A and B are shown apart, each in its own frame.
Chain A
Amino acid sequence: MKDVILGIETSCDDTAVALVTSEGTILSSVVASQLDVHAEFGGIYPEFAARAHISAILPTVHQAFKNAGIAPNDIKAIGVTRGPGLIGSLLVGLNTATGLGLGWNKPVIGINHLRGHLRSADLEQKRVRYPATILLVSGGHTLLAHMKNPVEITLLGTTLDDSVGECYDKVGRMLGLGYPGGPVVDRMATKGLPSIPFPRPAINKGFDFSFSGLKSAVARYLDAHPEAVYEDVAASYVLAVMDVLMKKSSVALKQYPSQSFVIVGGVAASPQLREEAAKLCNKLNVELCLPPLRWSTDNAAMVALAAFDYLNLPTITKPVVDLQLKITDF
Protein backbone atom coordinates (compact mmCIF):
# COMPACT_ATOMS: atom_id res chain seq x y z
CA MET A 1 0.00 0.00 0.00
CA LYS A 2 1.66 3.25 -1.11
CA ASP A 3 -1.36 5.39 -1.83
CA VAL A 4 -1.58 6.72 1.71
CA ILE A 5 -0.49 10.05 3.15
CA LEU A 6 0.10 10.81 6.82
CA GLY A 7 -1.52 14.15 7.67
CA ILE A 8 -0.46 16.25 10.65
CA GLU A 9 -2.45 19.30 11.75
CA THR A 10 -1.35 21.49 14.68
CA SER A 11 -2.34 24.96 13.50
CA CYS A 12 -4.39 25.76 16.58
CA ASP A 13 -5.45 23.86 19.68
CA ASP A 14 -5.91 20.23 18.67
CA THR A 15 -3.15 17.77 17.86
CA ALA A 16 -4.56 15.85 14.91
CA VAL A 17 -3.03 13.02 12.89
CA ALA A 18 -4.65 10.96 10.13
CA LEU A 19 -3.84 8.38 7.49
CA VAL A 20 -5.84 8.91 4.29
CA THR A 21 -5.87 7.42 0.78
CA SER A 22 -6.01 9.45 -2.44
CA GLU A 23 -9.71 8.54 -2.70
CA GLY A 24 -10.40 10.20 0.63
CA THR A 25 -10.77 6.95 2.55
CA ILE A 26 -9.78 7.55 6.14
CA LEU A 27 -7.73 4.69 7.54
CA SER A 28 -7.41 6.43 10.88
CA SER A 29 -7.89 9.83 12.44
CA VAL A 30 -6.73 10.58 15.96
CA VAL A 31 -7.20 13.88 17.78
CA ALA A 32 -5.69 14.90 21.11
CA SER A 33 -8.04 17.66 22.24
CA GLN A 34 -6.87 20.64 24.28
CA LEU A 35 -10.34 21.77 25.30
CA ASP A 36 -9.52 21.31 29.00
CA VAL A 37 -6.26 23.25 28.64
CA HIS A 38 -8.00 26.38 27.33
CA ALA A 39 -11.47 26.23 28.88
CA GLU A 40 -10.55 28.46 31.82
CA PHE A 41 -9.22 31.20 29.49
CA GLY A 42 -12.37 31.48 27.38
CA GLY A 43 -10.24 31.10 24.23
CA ILE A 44 -7.00 29.62 22.97
CA TYR A 45 -3.86 30.44 25.00
CA PRO A 46 -1.13 30.09 22.34
CA GLU A 47 1.79 29.23 24.63
CA PHE A 48 -0.13 26.46 26.37
CA ALA A 49 -1.35 25.17 23.00
CA ALA A 50 2.24 24.73 21.79
CA ARG A 51 3.26 22.99 25.03
CA ALA A 52 0.34 20.58 24.80
CA HIS A 53 1.16 19.77 21.15
CA ILE A 54 4.71 18.75 21.96
CA SER A 55 3.52 16.31 24.64
CA ALA A 56 0.76 14.83 22.53
CA ILE A 57 2.10 14.63 19.01
CA LEU A 58 4.16 11.43 18.93
CA PRO A 59 1.66 9.32 20.90
CA THR A 60 -0.98 10.63 18.45
CA VAL A 61 1.12 9.64 15.43
CA HIS A 62 1.73 6.24 16.98
CA GLN A 63 -1.97 5.70 17.66
CA ALA A 64 -2.89 6.70 14.10
CA PHE A 65 -0.64 3.99 12.64
CA LYS A 66 -1.90 1.46 15.17
CA ASN A 67 -5.56 2.21 14.35
CA ALA A 68 -4.90 2.03 10.60
CA GLY A 69 -3.00 -1.23 10.91
CA ILE A 70 -0.22 -0.04 8.62
CA ALA A 71 3.46 0.81 9.08
CA PRO A 72 5.36 4.01 8.22
CA ASN A 73 6.88 2.20 5.27
CA ASP A 74 3.37 1.95 3.78
CA ILE A 75 2.94 5.70 3.33
CA LYS A 76 3.77 7.76 0.28
CA ALA A 77 4.45 11.08 2.04
CA ILE A 78 3.73 13.25 5.06
CA GLY A 79 1.52 16.34 4.70
CA VAL A 80 1.72 18.89 7.49
CA THR A 81 -0.03 22.22 8.01
CA ARG A 82 2.39 25.12 7.48
CA GLY A 83 -0.04 28.00 8.05
CA PRO A 84 -1.99 30.04 8.69
CA GLY A 85 -2.25 29.40 12.42
CA LEU A 86 -0.48 29.90 15.74
CA ILE A 87 3.26 29.96 15.16
CA GLY A 88 4.25 27.95 18.25
CA SER A 89 1.72 25.25 17.44
CA LEU A 90 2.67 25.13 13.75
CA LEU A 91 6.36 24.77 14.60
CA VAL A 92 5.71 21.64 16.65
CA GLY A 93 3.85 19.97 13.79
CA LEU A 94 6.30 21.06 11.11
CA ASN A 95 9.43 19.99 12.98
CA THR A 96 7.87 16.73 14.06
CA ALA A 97 6.96 16.00 10.45
CA THR A 98 10.47 16.93 9.31
CA GLY A 99 12.05 14.59 11.87
CA LEU A 100 9.71 11.75 10.95
CA GLY A 101 10.30 12.26 7.24
CA LEU A 102 14.07 12.10 7.72
CA GLY A 103 13.93 8.94 9.81
CA TRP A 104 11.45 7.18 7.54
CA ASN A 105 12.92 8.57 4.33
CA LYS A 106 9.58 10.01 3.18
CA PRO A 107 8.94 13.39 1.54
CA VAL A 108 7.38 16.03 3.78
CA ILE A 109 4.98 18.52 2.18
CA GLY A 110 3.94 21.80 3.81
CA ILE A 111 0.17 22.26 3.36
CA ASN A 112 -1.93 25.42 3.38
CA HIS A 113 -4.48 24.83 6.13
CA LEU A 114 -7.14 26.65 4.08
CA ARG A 115 -6.72 24.22 1.19
CA GLY A 116 -7.19 21.44 3.69
CA HIS A 117 -10.57 22.85 4.65
CA LEU A 118 -11.56 23.12 0.98
CA ARG A 119 -10.85 19.43 0.47
CA SER A 120 -12.65 18.30 3.63
CA ALA A 121 -15.94 17.97 1.74
CA ASP A 122 -14.46 15.07 -0.26
CA LEU A 123 -13.43 13.04 2.78
CA GLU A 124 -14.97 9.56 2.94
CA GLN A 125 -16.74 10.04 -0.39
CA LYS A 126 -16.47 12.32 -3.39
CA ARG A 127 -19.16 14.92 -2.95
CA VAL A 128 -17.99 18.05 -4.75
CA ARG A 129 -18.75 18.57 -8.41
CA TYR A 130 -16.82 21.34 -10.12
CA PRO A 131 -17.02 24.20 -10.73
CA ALA A 132 -18.00 24.88 -7.13
CA THR A 133 -18.54 27.84 -4.85
CA ILE A 134 -17.14 27.38 -1.40
CA LEU A 135 -17.93 29.12 1.87
CA LEU A 136 -15.29 28.63 4.57
CA VAL A 137 -16.59 29.66 7.96
CA SER A 138 -14.54 28.90 11.06
CA GLY A 139 -12.97 30.43 14.16
CA GLY A 140 -10.01 31.64 12.13
CA HIS A 141 -11.46 32.30 8.70
CA THR A 142 -14.48 33.53 6.79
CA LEU A 143 -14.28 33.53 3.01
CA LEU A 144 -16.08 32.85 -0.23
CA ALA A 145 -14.21 31.34 -3.16
CA HIS A 146 -14.89 29.82 -6.54
CA MET A 147 -13.17 26.58 -7.48
CA LYS A 148 -12.76 25.52 -11.09
CA ASN A 149 -11.30 22.24 -9.84
CA PRO A 150 -9.69 21.11 -6.57
CA VAL A 151 -6.58 23.26 -7.13
CA GLU A 152 -7.65 26.26 -9.23
CA ILE A 153 -9.25 28.75 -6.86
CA THR A 154 -10.45 32.33 -7.15
CA LEU A 155 -10.95 34.21 -3.90
CA LEU A 156 -14.19 36.20 -4.04
CA GLY A 157 -14.19 37.75 -0.59
CA THR A 158 -12.85 37.39 2.90
CA THR A 159 -13.39 38.93 6.31
CA LEU A 160 -12.15 42.44 6.90
CA ASP A 161 -12.05 41.97 10.68
CA ASP A 162 -13.41 39.15 12.88
CA SER A 163 -14.13 35.70 11.53
CA VAL A 164 -17.67 34.47 11.98
CA GLY A 165 -16.52 31.77 14.42
CA GLU A 166 -14.65 34.32 16.50
CA CYS A 167 -17.77 36.50 16.56
CA TYR A 168 -19.83 33.48 17.72
CA ASP A 169 -17.36 32.79 20.54
CA LYS A 170 -17.38 36.41 21.70
CA VAL A 171 -21.17 36.63 21.65
CA GLY A 172 -21.24 33.31 23.52
CA ARG A 173 -19.02 34.83 26.19
CA MET A 174 -21.27 37.93 26.42
CA LEU A 175 -24.22 35.62 27.01
CA GLY A 176 -22.29 33.73 29.68
CA LEU A 177 -22.18 30.54 27.66
CA GLY A 178 -18.48 29.70 28.02
CA TYR A 179 -16.10 28.47 25.34
CA PRO A 180 -16.48 27.39 22.57
CA GLY A 181 -19.57 29.54 22.07
CA GLY A 182 -20.77 28.51 18.62
CA PRO A 183 -22.84 25.38 19.31
CA VAL A 184 -24.40 26.81 22.49
CA VAL A 185 -25.33 30.11 20.85
CA ASP A 186 -27.04 28.17 18.03
CA ARG A 187 -28.84 26.00 20.56
CA MET A 188 -29.97 28.98 22.63
CA ALA A 189 -31.15 30.73 19.46
CA THR A 190 -33.68 27.98 18.75
CA LYS A 191 -35.47 28.90 22.00
CA GLY A 192 -35.81 32.63 21.27
CA LEU A 193 -37.47 35.06 18.90
CA PRO A 194 -35.32 37.04 16.42
CA SER A 195 -36.99 40.27 17.52
CA ILE A 196 -33.93 42.54 17.86
CA PRO A 197 -32.91 44.39 14.68
CA PHE A 198 -29.15 43.79 14.79
CA PRO A 199 -27.23 45.19 11.78
CA ARG A 200 -26.24 43.08 8.78
CA PRO A 201 -22.75 44.52 8.25
CA ALA A 202 -21.61 44.98 4.63
CA ILE A 203 -24.50 42.85 3.40
CA ASN A 204 -24.71 44.65 0.08
CA LYS A 205 -21.02 45.49 -0.34
CA GLY A 206 -19.38 42.89 -2.55
CA PHE A 207 -18.15 39.58 -1.17
CA ASP A 208 -16.08 40.77 1.79
CA PHE A 209 -17.40 40.17 5.29
CA SER A 210 -17.27 42.29 8.43
CA PHE A 211 -18.57 40.86 11.69
CA SER A 212 -16.97 43.08 14.32
CA GLY A 213 -19.80 45.64 14.01
CA LEU A 214 -22.39 42.95 14.68
CA LYS A 215 -20.45 41.74 17.72
CA SER A 216 -20.27 45.33 19.05
CA ALA A 217 -23.99 45.82 18.40
CA VAL A 218 -24.76 42.78 20.56
CA ALA A 219 -22.47 44.13 23.32
CA ARG A 220 -24.14 47.57 23.17
CA TYR A 221 -27.59 46.04 23.25
CA LEU A 222 -26.77 43.95 26.31
CA ASP A 223 -25.30 47.01 28.07
CA ALA A 224 -28.41 49.08 27.35
CA HIS A 225 -30.90 46.29 28.17
CA PRO A 226 -29.98 44.53 31.41
CA GLU A 227 -33.39 42.85 31.27
CA ALA A 228 -32.70 41.39 27.79
CA VAL A 229 -33.96 37.87 27.12
CA TYR A 230 -30.76 36.04 26.16
CA GLU A 231 -32.59 33.55 23.96
CA ASP A 232 -33.99 36.43 21.87
CA VAL A 233 -30.54 38.02 21.66
CA ALA A 234 -29.06 34.74 20.45
CA ALA A 235 -31.87 34.20 17.93
CA SER A 236 -31.53 37.75 16.58
CA TYR A 237 -27.75 37.49 16.36
CA VAL A 238 -27.83 34.13 14.54
CA LEU A 239 -30.42 35.43 12.09
CA ALA A 240 -28.23 38.46 11.31
CA VAL A 241 -25.23 36.18 10.66
CA MET A 242 -27.26 33.86 8.45
CA ASP A 243 -28.70 36.76 6.45
CA VAL A 244 -25.20 38.04 5.66
CA LEU A 245 -23.73 34.63 4.83
CA MET A 246 -26.67 33.60 2.64
CA LYS A 247 -26.97 36.92 0.83
CA LYS A 248 -23.33 36.90 -0.26
CA SER A 249 -23.42 33.19 -1.09
CA SER A 250 -26.53 33.72 -3.20
CA VAL A 251 -24.91 36.52 -5.19
CA ALA A 252 -21.74 34.42 -5.65
CA LEU A 253 -23.67 31.39 -6.88
CA LYS A 254 -25.52 33.55 -9.39
CA GLN A 255 -22.40 35.33 -10.65
CA TYR A 256 -20.17 32.25 -10.73
CA PRO A 257 -22.21 29.31 -12.00
CA SER A 258 -21.50 26.29 -9.84
CA GLN A 259 -22.55 22.69 -9.68
CA SER A 260 -21.88 22.49 -5.95
CA PHE A 261 -22.09 24.87 -3.03
CA VAL A 262 -19.61 23.66 -0.44
CA ILE A 263 -19.64 24.83 3.18
CA VAL A 264 -16.66 23.91 5.35
CA GLY A 265 -15.07 25.02 8.62
CA GLY A 266 -16.27 24.75 12.21
CA VAL A 267 -19.32 26.98 11.70
CA ALA A 268 -20.51 24.55 9.00
CA ALA A 269 -21.71 22.50 11.98
CA SER A 270 -24.35 25.17 12.67
CA PRO A 271 -27.83 23.63 12.20
CA GLN A 272 -29.20 27.06 11.24
CA LEU A 273 -26.52 27.48 8.56
CA ARG A 274 -27.18 24.01 7.19
CA GLU A 275 -30.91 24.71 7.01
CA GLU A 276 -30.54 28.10 5.33
CA ALA A 277 -27.97 26.75 2.85
CA ALA A 278 -30.28 23.87 1.93
CA LYS A 279 -33.08 26.36 1.19
CA LEU A 280 -30.74 28.48 -0.94
CA CYS A 281 -29.45 25.52 -2.92
CA ASN A 282 -32.98 24.24 -3.56
CA LYS A 283 -33.93 27.65 -4.87
CA LEU A 284 -30.88 27.94 -7.14
CA ASN A 285 -30.81 24.26 -8.13
CA VAL A 286 -27.26 23.77 -6.88
CA GLU A 287 -26.04 20.71 -5.02
CA LEU A 288 -25.21 21.42 -1.38
CA CYS A 289 -22.03 19.71 -0.17
CA LEU A 290 -21.45 19.56 3.53
CA PRO A 291 -18.70 17.47 5.05
CA PRO A 292 -19.81 15.22 7.91
CA LEU A 293 -19.67 17.25 11.12
CA ARG A 294 -16.51 15.52 12.34
CA TRP A 295 -14.61 16.87 9.31
CA SER A 296 -16.03 20.40 9.59
CA THR A 297 -13.60 21.52 12.27
CA ASP A 298 -9.78 21.40 12.08
CA ASN A 299 -8.59 17.87 11.38
CA ALA A 300 -5.63 16.08 9.87
CA ALA A 301 -7.58 14.00 7.37
CA MET A 302 -8.30 17.11 5.28
CA VAL A 303 -4.60 17.99 5.36
CA ALA A 304 -3.65 14.51 4.17
CA LEU A 305 -6.21 14.63 1.33
CA ALA A 306 -5.03 18.09 0.26
CA ALA A 307 -1.46 16.79 0.23
CA PHE A 308 -2.34 14.53 -2.72
CA ASP A 309 -3.07 17.68 -4.78
CA TYR A 310 0.42 18.94 -3.98
CA LEU A 311 2.09 15.81 -5.36
CA ASN A 312 1.27 17.01 -8.87
CA LEU A 313 2.91 20.42 -8.40
CA PRO A 314 6.25 21.07 -10.13
CA THR A 315 8.02 21.44 -6.77
CA ILE A 316 7.25 20.17 -3.29
CA THR A 317 6.11 22.91 -0.89
CA LYS A 318 8.61 22.85 1.96
CA PRO A 319 7.44 22.32 5.54
CA VAL A 320 8.21 25.90 6.52
CA VAL A 321 5.91 28.20 8.50
CA ASP A 322 3.98 30.83 6.55
CA LEU A 323 1.43 32.71 8.61
CA GLN A 324 0.26 34.85 5.70
CA LEU A 325 -0.97 32.11 3.36
CA LYS A 326 -4.04 33.01 1.34
CA ILE A 327 -6.60 30.59 -0.02
CA THR A 328 -5.02 30.78 -3.47
CA ASP A 329 -1.53 29.88 -2.17
CA PHE A 330 -0.12 26.37 -1.81
Chain B
Amino acid sequence: MTTLAISTSSGQFALAIGENSRVLFDSSIDSTQEKGLEEILSDGLSCCNREVSDISHIIVDVGPGGTSRVRTGVAFANALAYSLGISVSPVSSMELAGIDAWEKYHLPVLSTVKSIKGSAYIGLYQPPDTSIQYGEVQDLVPKMVQNIDKFVVVGVHRDNILQLPSLKDKTMIDSTLTFGHVSCLIKNSNTFANRACGFPVYAQPVTEKTL
Protein backbone atom coordinates (compact mmCIF):
# COMPACT_ATOMS: atom_id res chain seq x y z
CA MET B 1 0.00 0.00 0.00
CA THR B 2 1.68 3.18 -1.22
CA THR B 3 0.69 6.31 0.66
CA LEU B 4 1.29 9.86 -0.51
CA ALA B 5 1.42 12.65 2.07
CA ILE B 6 1.27 16.34 1.16
CA SER B 7 1.91 19.25 3.49
CA THR B 8 1.95 22.86 2.30
CA SER B 9 0.79 24.81 5.37
CA SER B 10 4.32 25.97 6.19
CA GLY B 11 4.48 27.77 2.86
CA GLN B 12 6.87 25.14 1.43
CA PHE B 13 5.66 22.28 -0.74
CA ALA B 14 6.52 19.12 1.19
CA LEU B 15 5.66 15.66 0.03
CA ALA B 16 6.41 12.19 1.39
CA ILE B 17 5.80 8.72 0.03
CA GLY B 18 5.62 5.64 2.18
CA GLU B 19 4.52 2.09 2.52
CA ASN B 20 2.95 0.63 5.67
CA SER B 21 3.99 3.63 7.78
CA ARG B 22 7.58 3.41 6.51
CA VAL B 23 8.90 6.58 4.85
CA LEU B 24 10.43 5.91 1.41
CA PHE B 25 10.76 9.51 0.25
CA ASP B 26 10.65 12.88 2.01
CA SER B 27 11.05 15.99 -0.14
CA SER B 28 11.58 18.24 2.88
CA ILE B 29 15.00 16.67 3.50
CA ASP B 30 16.35 18.41 0.41
CA SER B 31 14.13 21.43 -0.11
CA THR B 32 16.68 23.88 -1.39
CA GLN B 33 14.98 24.12 -4.78
CA GLU B 34 11.44 25.39 -5.06
CA LYS B 35 9.55 22.91 -7.23
CA GLY B 36 5.86 22.43 -7.98
CA LEU B 37 3.90 19.55 -6.42
CA GLU B 38 3.72 17.64 -9.70
CA GLU B 39 7.49 17.82 -10.13
CA ILE B 40 8.18 16.79 -6.54
CA LEU B 41 5.78 13.88 -6.87
CA SER B 42 7.43 12.79 -10.08
CA ASP B 43 10.87 12.92 -8.40
CA GLY B 44 9.55 11.02 -5.39
CA LEU B 45 7.90 8.28 -7.39
CA SER B 46 11.01 7.64 -9.48
CA CYS B 47 13.09 7.66 -6.31
CA CYS B 48 10.86 4.91 -4.85
CA ASN B 49 10.48 3.10 -8.16
CA ARG B 50 6.69 3.62 -8.10
CA GLU B 51 4.08 4.82 -10.60
CA VAL B 52 1.27 7.32 -9.98
CA SER B 53 -1.18 4.42 -10.28
CA ASP B 54 0.55 2.68 -7.35
CA ILE B 55 -0.70 5.36 -4.93
CA SER B 56 -3.52 3.85 -2.91
CA HIS B 57 -4.13 6.50 -0.28
CA ILE B 58 -3.44 10.23 0.12
CA ILE B 59 -3.03 12.17 3.36
CA VAL B 60 -3.17 15.94 3.07
CA ASP B 61 -2.42 18.74 5.51
CA VAL B 62 -5.47 21.02 5.35
CA GLY B 63 -3.98 23.87 7.36
CA PRO B 64 -4.34 26.33 8.88
CA GLY B 65 -1.27 27.89 7.33
CA GLY B 66 -0.30 29.77 4.18
CA THR B 67 -3.72 30.19 2.58
CA SER B 68 -2.78 29.87 -1.09
CA ARG B 69 -0.33 27.06 -0.45
CA VAL B 70 -2.81 25.05 1.61
CA ARG B 71 -5.43 25.48 -1.09
CA THR B 72 -2.92 24.38 -3.72
CA GLY B 73 -2.05 21.23 -1.79
CA VAL B 74 -5.65 20.34 -1.00
CA ALA B 75 -6.89 20.93 -4.58
CA PHE B 76 -4.06 18.80 -5.96
CA ALA B 77 -4.59 16.00 -3.41
CA ASN B 78 -8.35 15.90 -3.92
CA ALA B 79 -8.09 15.83 -7.71
CA LEU B 80 -5.43 13.15 -7.70
CA ALA B 81 -7.54 11.05 -5.32
CA TYR B 82 -10.63 11.54 -7.50
CA SER B 83 -8.80 10.65 -10.71
CA LEU B 84 -7.27 7.52 -9.17
CA GLY B 85 -10.50 6.52 -7.45
CA ILE B 86 -8.85 6.46 -4.01
CA SER B 87 -9.55 8.18 -0.71
CA VAL B 88 -7.92 11.20 0.88
CA SER B 89 -7.48 11.79 4.62
CA PRO B 90 -7.45 15.40 5.85
CA VAL B 91 -5.15 16.23 8.76
CA SER B 92 -4.90 19.69 10.29
CA SER B 93 -1.51 21.36 10.49
CA MET B 94 -2.06 21.57 14.26
CA GLU B 95 -2.50 17.83 14.56
CA LEU B 96 0.56 17.32 12.39
CA ALA B 97 2.58 19.68 14.58
CA GLY B 98 1.19 17.95 17.68
CA ILE B 99 2.11 14.48 16.47
CA ASP B 100 5.59 15.64 15.52
CA ALA B 101 6.31 17.23 18.92
CA TRP B 102 4.56 14.46 20.90
CA GLU B 103 6.93 11.88 19.42
CA LYS B 104 9.80 13.71 21.09
CA TYR B 105 8.31 15.01 24.37
CA HIS B 106 5.20 12.92 25.12
CA LEU B 107 3.47 16.03 26.42
CA PRO B 108 0.43 18.03 25.26
CA VAL B 109 1.34 20.30 22.35
CA LEU B 110 0.15 23.88 21.91
CA SER B 111 0.67 25.17 18.37
CA THR B 112 -0.14 28.46 16.68
CA VAL B 113 -0.43 29.75 13.12
CA LYS B 114 -0.51 33.43 12.30
CA SER B 115 -3.68 34.80 10.69
CA ILE B 116 -4.82 38.28 9.68
CA LYS B 117 -5.33 41.39 11.86
CA GLY B 118 -3.36 40.07 14.85
CA SER B 119 -5.45 36.91 15.13
CA ALA B 120 -4.10 33.38 15.18
CA TYR B 121 -5.20 29.79 14.95
CA ILE B 122 -4.33 28.03 18.20
CA GLY B 123 -4.32 24.26 18.47
CA LEU B 124 -4.00 21.94 21.44
CA TYR B 125 -2.99 18.38 20.73
CA GLN B 126 -3.66 15.79 23.42
CA PRO B 127 -3.71 12.44 21.66
CA PRO B 128 -5.94 11.39 20.09
CA ASP B 129 -7.70 14.79 20.06
CA THR B 130 -6.83 18.16 18.58
CA SER B 131 -8.87 21.23 19.41
CA ILE B 132 -8.45 24.38 17.32
CA GLN B 133 -9.64 27.87 18.16
CA TYR B 134 -9.35 31.22 16.39
CA GLY B 135 -8.60 34.50 18.15
CA GLU B 136 -5.83 36.40 19.90
CA VAL B 137 -2.93 34.47 21.40
CA GLN B 138 -2.81 36.31 24.75
CA ASP B 139 -6.55 35.79 25.29
CA LEU B 140 -7.01 32.22 24.11
CA VAL B 141 -3.83 30.41 25.12
CA PRO B 142 -4.27 30.81 28.93
CA LYS B 143 -7.85 29.48 28.62
CA MET B 144 -6.84 26.52 26.48
CA VAL B 145 -4.07 25.36 28.84
CA GLN B 146 -5.73 26.23 32.16
CA ASN B 147 -5.92 22.55 33.19
CA ILE B 148 -2.48 21.62 31.91
CA ASP B 149 0.69 22.18 33.95
CA LYS B 150 3.28 21.18 31.40
CA PHE B 151 3.18 21.42 27.62
CA VAL B 152 5.25 21.90 24.48
CA VAL B 153 4.96 25.01 22.28
CA VAL B 154 5.09 24.94 18.45
CA GLY B 155 4.63 27.79 15.96
CA VAL B 156 5.63 31.35 15.20
CA HIS B 157 4.27 32.73 18.50
CA ARG B 158 6.55 30.52 20.66
CA ASP B 159 8.51 33.44 22.13
CA ASN B 160 5.34 35.41 22.93
CA ILE B 161 3.72 32.42 24.63
CA LEU B 162 6.82 31.51 26.65
CA GLN B 163 6.81 35.07 28.05
CA LEU B 164 3.10 35.43 28.78
CA PRO B 165 2.82 36.56 32.45
CA SER B 166 -0.43 34.65 32.86
CA LEU B 167 1.44 31.39 32.15
CA LYS B 168 4.32 31.93 34.60
CA ASP B 169 3.18 29.00 36.75
CA LYS B 170 3.25 26.59 33.82
CA THR B 171 6.16 24.53 32.57
CA MET B 172 6.57 25.22 28.89
CA ILE B 173 9.02 23.61 26.50
CA ASP B 174 10.09 25.35 23.33
CA SER B 175 9.98 22.70 20.58
CA THR B 176 11.84 25.04 18.19
CA LEU B 177 9.36 23.78 15.58
CA THR B 178 7.22 26.13 13.49
CA PHE B 179 5.30 23.42 11.65
CA GLY B 180 5.22 19.62 11.74
CA HIS B 181 7.18 17.50 9.29
CA VAL B 182 5.39 15.83 6.40
CA SER B 183 7.01 12.47 7.16
CA CYS B 184 4.93 12.27 10.38
CA LEU B 185 1.86 11.85 8.18
CA ILE B 186 3.35 8.68 6.69
CA LYS B 187 4.61 7.30 10.02
CA ASN B 188 1.12 7.71 11.48
CA SER B 189 -0.86 6.85 8.36
CA ASN B 190 -2.82 4.12 10.15
CA THR B 191 -4.20 6.74 12.54
CA PHE B 192 -5.75 8.67 9.64
CA ALA B 193 -7.34 5.74 7.78
CA ASN B 194 -10.65 6.04 9.62
CA ARG B 195 -11.22 9.60 8.43
CA ALA B 196 -10.60 8.86 4.74
CA CYS B 197 -13.05 10.68 2.49
CA GLY B 198 -13.93 10.42 -1.19
CA PHE B 199 -16.44 11.51 -3.78
CA PRO B 200 -18.47 13.70 -3.41
CA VAL B 201 -16.99 15.16 -0.20
CA TYR B 202 -13.26 15.72 -0.25
CA ALA B 203 -10.74 17.42 2.04
CA GLN B 204 -11.40 21.11 2.72
CA PRO B 205 -8.89 23.67 4.02
CA VAL B 206 -9.34 24.76 7.63
CA THR B 207 -10.59 28.34 7.84
CA GLU B 208 -11.96 30.44 10.68
CA LYS B 209 -15.43 29.57 9.34
CA THR B 210 -14.92 25.79 9.50
CA LEU B 211 -13.88 25.67 13.17
A103 touches B79 (CB 8 A): yes
A95 touches B68 (CB 8 A): no
- Name the residue of chain A whose CB is nearest to the CB of B75: A95
Report the bound CA distance from A102 to B79 in whole Å: 9
In the complex, whether B32 has a CB less than 8 A from a CB of chain A is: no
Report the bound CA distance from A308 to B84 in whole Å: 25
B205 touches A99 (CB 8 A): no
Known: A51-B207, A62-B200, A98-B38. A91 touches B71 (CB 8 A): yes
In the complex, whether B167 has a CB less than 8 A from a CB of chain A is: no
A239 to chain B, nearest CB (A): 43
Report the bound CA distance from A103 to B78 in whole Å: 11
Task: Find chain A residues with CB under 8 A from B205 CB.
Answer: 51, 54
Known: A50-B71, A96-B78, A99-B76. A72 touches B83 (CB 8 A): yes
Task: Find chain B residues with CB under 8 A from A320 CB.
Answer: 36
Which among B83, B84, B204 has the highest number of chain A CB atoms within 10 Å? B83
In the complex, whether B202 has a CB less than 8 A from a CB of chain A is: yes
In the complex, whether B41 has a CB less than 8 A from a CB of chain A is: yes
Known: A99-B77, A100-B82. A58 touches B37 (CB 8 A): no
B172-209 to A contact mask, C-beta < 8 Å, 1/0:
00000000000000000000000000011010110101
Within 8 A of A (CB), among B37-96: 37-38, 41, 52, 67-68, 71-84
Task: Find chain B residues with CB under 8 A from A105 CB.
Answer: 52
Within 8 A of B (CB), among A44-92: 47, 50-51, 54-55, 57-59, 61-62, 72, 87-88, 91-92
B76 touches A58 (CB 8 A): no
- Name the residue of chain A whose CB is nearest to the CB of B52: A102
B77 touches A54 (CB 8 A): no
Report the bound CA distance from A98 to B36 in whole Å: 10
In the complex, whether A241 has a CB less than 8 A from a CB of chain B is: no
Which among A47, A91, A320 has the highest number of chain B CB atoms within 10 Å? A91
Task: Find chain B residues with CB under 8 A from A57 CB.
Answer: 75, 79
Task: Find chain B residues with CB under 8 A from A87 CB.
Answer: 68
B40 to chain A, nearest CB (A): 12
Report the bound CA distance from A100 to B84 in whole Å: 8
Task: Find chain A residues with CB under 8 A from B84 CB.
Answer: 103
B75 touches A103 (CB 8 A): no
Which among B71, B77, B205 has the highest number of chain A CB atoms within 10 Å? B71
Report the bound CA distance from A245 to B79 in whole Å: 42
In the complex, whether A104 has a CB less than 8 A from a CB of chain B is: yes
Task: Find chain B residues with CB under 8 A from A47 CB.
Answer: 67
In the complex, whether A305 has a CB less than 8 A from a CB of chain B is: no
- Name the residue of chain B whose CB is nearest to the CB of A48: B209
Query: Which residue from B71, B73, B83, B207 sits with its C-beta under 8 Å from A102?
Result: B83
A295 to chain B, nearest CB (A): 26
In the complex, whether A175 has a CB less than 8 A from a CB of chain B is: no
Task: Find chain A residues with CB under 8 A from B79 CB.
Answer: 57-58, 95-100, 103
Task: Find chain A residues with CB under 8 A from B37 CB.
Answer: 95, 98
A103 touches B38 (CB 8 A): no
Task: Find chain A residues with CB under 8 A from B204 CB.
Answer: 54-55
B83 touches A104 (CB 8 A): yes
A62 touches B199 (CB 8 A): yes
Query: Which residue from B67, B78, B199 sits with its C-beta under 8 Å from A99?
Result: B78
B72 touches A91 (CB 8 A): yes
Report the bound CA distance from A59 to B204 in whole Å: 14
Task: Find chain A residues with CB under 8 A from B76 CB.
Answer: 95-96, 98-99
Task: Find chain B residues with CB under 8 A from A103 CB.
Answer: 52, 79-80, 82-84
A94-120 to B contact mask, C-beta < 8 Å, 1/0:
011111111111000000000000000
A74 to chain B, nearest CB (A): 14
A194 to chain B, nearest CB (A): 45
Report the bound CA distance from A98 to B80 in whole Å: 8
B52 to chain A, nearest CB (A): 5
A61 touches B75 (CB 8 A): no
Task: Find chain B residues with CB under 8 A from A99 CB.
Answer: 75-83
Task: Find chain A residues with CB under 8 A from B67 CB.
Answer: 47, 88
Task: Find chain A residues with CB under 8 A from B202 CB.
Answer: 58
Known: A99-B75, A102-B38. A58 touches B82 (CB 8 A): yes
Known: A51-B205, A102-B38, A102-B41. A91 touches B80 (CB 8 A): no
Task: Find chain A residues with CB under 8 A from B199 CB.
Answer: 58-59, 62
Task: Find chain A residues with CB under 8 A from B200 CB.
Answer: 58-59, 62
A88 touches B83 (CB 8 A): no
B5 to chain A, nearest CB (A): 15
Q: List 8 A-B contacts (CB under 8 A).
A: A54-B74, A57-B75, A58-B79, A91-B72, A99-B79, A102-B52, A102-B80, A103-B82
Closest 5 CB pairs of A and B: A103-B83, A99-B79, A95-B75, A99-B80, A96-B79
